Structure formats: C-alpha cells, structure tokens
Amino acid sequence: MELKDTIALVTGGSEGIGRAIAEALTSQGSKVTITGRREDVVRNTAEELGLDWSVGDVGREQDAARTVSSVIEKHGRLDILINNAGYGLFKPLVETTLEEMEGVYRTNVFGPFLMAREAARQFIKQSSGELINIASTSALKGSAGRTVYGSSKFALRGMTECWRDELRRHNVRVMLVNPSEVMTDFAAKTGVQRERSDKKLRPQEIADAIIGALKVESRAFIPEFSVFATNPF
C-alpha cells in the first residue's frame, strides 16, 4: 500500500520500538498520532518528531475509546493501528502474584483488545485498515520465568489469529510481529540487566520490517513474522 497521507496510530509510541515505528511511518508521509501514559514523555517525543499525541492508558476502556475516536474525528478516518504498548515481568511462578499477572494482562492483552475493537469499527465502516500487533518471540515458545509476560504474548498471538479471520472479509489486514531481543530500556525496566551490543537488534530494524510489510500491495499481506539478529553473539 501507499503510506503517504495515511492516518496512523501507534500505542506506546514515545520510546523504544514504538518511537521508531512512528518515526518510520512519518518518513513515509503518514500522519501519525502516538499515545502513552506519561504525558511529559509522550509530548516531548511528539514535539521532537512533529507528531500528534494523546495521553491515555490502553488498558482503560474509556481511554482507548477516546484515543481512537479523537484521531477519527480529526482526520475522518484511521488507516493503521500499531498495538505496541506493553511491558514485561519475569519471575518464577511461585513468586508471582495475581496482582502482577493482572497488571501485565491489563496492558499487554486487554489494551490491544480495546484498541483493536475501537479501530475495527472504523475499519469495517471504511472497508479498509491495517492492524499490526507487536508480540514477541516469547509468544512462540514458553520458558522459565516467563509465566506472565510469555503467556500475555501467547494470548495476543491468539487474538490476532481470531481478528485476522474475522476482518479479512472487510479488506482489513491483521499482522503479528515477533521481535527477538531489541536494545531498548524494556529489560532494564523489569530489573533485568542486558549487556549492550551493536550486534543485537535496534528498534529501527523492527520499524523497517513493519514498513516493508505495510508496503506489500493490499491484495496480499504477511500474516506473521519474526525478526531476529543475524549474529547476536
């Protein structure tokens, strides 16, 4: 598809992968709105990149509805939704609390559901749309210490498959992206220290892959793909 003048919404767009996606879409001529929970960070990123912005929590129904509706009210349509907002928690099963599980699911599972539901209503109305969910290679294989984060990405992968089957008849392309380890502050925020390496993925590689997938002529699409570093060792 041609990205110039498309209307895009990127959740968790103020930093890391989300920021790189927003910047890449802007470079293609897309009109981008980013959203996030921290007003100062979202506003600063938007001002730096020349984007529209909205503050809200994707896991809160009223915030999700308001964010999507505000973009549609301004532009009259919505062409692309990137569900990127999410965070991790890595702990042994016996040390994990229900509150922690619910918190991660609120953002990583309920958030994409709410945003996708609101966007899908517009996509169906206009008989077009691009819905891209950012999952993780943790959605492909479970591992110790990833009960919370891994299962949330498995859930996102499952929802994506359901939405893909449901929305194809409305000319809506639903895609899932599974990044491997990316050099952002994601791990540090969970208390996990990762050694920085120029061999590992940067947010830009994920953004480039998404732009490539979006540029495929709209009669076809890439349902799911993973992005790995060639030689991270």
Q: What is the pLDDT along the chain (233 residues), one digit of tens a residue?
A: 999 999 999 999 999 999 999 999 999 999 999 999 999 999 999 999 999 999 999 999 999 999 999 999 999 999 999 999 999 999 999 999 999 999 999 999 999 999 999 999 999 999 999 999 999 999 999 999 999 999 999 999 999 999 999 999 999 999 999 999 999 877 667 666 667 899 999 999 999 999 999 999 999 999 999 999 999 99
Work out the number of other CB atoms within 10 angstroms of the CB of residue 27: 12
pTM: 0.95
What residues are paired with 33 via a beta bridge?
9, 52
Strands (E), 5-118: 7-11, 31-36, 52-55, 80-83
Burial class (CB in 10 A: 0-12, 13-18, 19+), 134: buried
Does residue 149 carry a catalytic annotation? yes
Domains and CATH numbers, the chain: 7-227 (3.40.50.720)
Enter the tokens of residue 212: 């490539």
- What type of residue is 97? T
If you search the block for the tokens 């517009």, which residue do you land on? 122
Q: Which two tokens stand for residue 195?
A: 């050694």
Helix, strand or coil for residue 61?
helix
Burial class, 185, CB count within 10 angstroms (exposed 0-12 / middle 13-18 / buried 19+): exposed
From the CB of residue 224, how many other CB atoms can be counted at a distance below 10 Å?
18
Predicted pLDDT of residue 196:
82
CA separation, residue 181 to residues 58, 87, 140, 197 (Å):
23, 13, 14, 11
Catalytic residue of the set 123, 149, 154, 186: 149
Distance CA 182, CA 206 (A): 9
| Measured distance CA(185)–CA(100) in Å, rounded | 20
